[in-house]
Amino acid sequence: MRLSIIGIVFAGLLAVSGAGIAAEKKTDAAHIQKAVGEHLAMAEAHVGAAKCLQAGNAETQCHEQLEKDCKGLGIGKYCGMKHKH
């Protein structure tokens, strides 16, 4: 009797963990898509800053725009990227 109860519990745990793995894969795909979008948005903000500097604009002006473009995207004012300067 005891072995059959353990078997039932074990089978239940396997079923629950299998469902959890399937849900995790869907969550991972959604998380990856979100991360891709965020990285692309950050990259666009940095390309914009590079083009701003390349056009001869003041660094402070370009950084102000970068800060606006990065708001809510990454860590820090400049999307989490930090240079030597």
Give tens-digit pLDDT for 27-79: 789 999 998 998 899 999 999 999 999 999 999 999 999 999 988 887 877 78
pTM for this structure? 0.61
Task: Note the helical H segments in 1-85.
Answer: 2-54, 59-70
Alpha-carbon gap, residue 5 to 80, rounded angstroms = 53
**Cα 20 from chain centroid (whole Å):** 22
pLDDT at 26: 65
Domain spans of the chain, in order of start: 2-70
Nearest to 42 by CA among 81, 6, 15: 81
- Which tokens is 24 given? 């995790």
Higher pLDDT, 72 or 26: 72
Specify which of 1-10, 15-24, 28-37 reaches the highest per-range mean pLDDT.
28-37
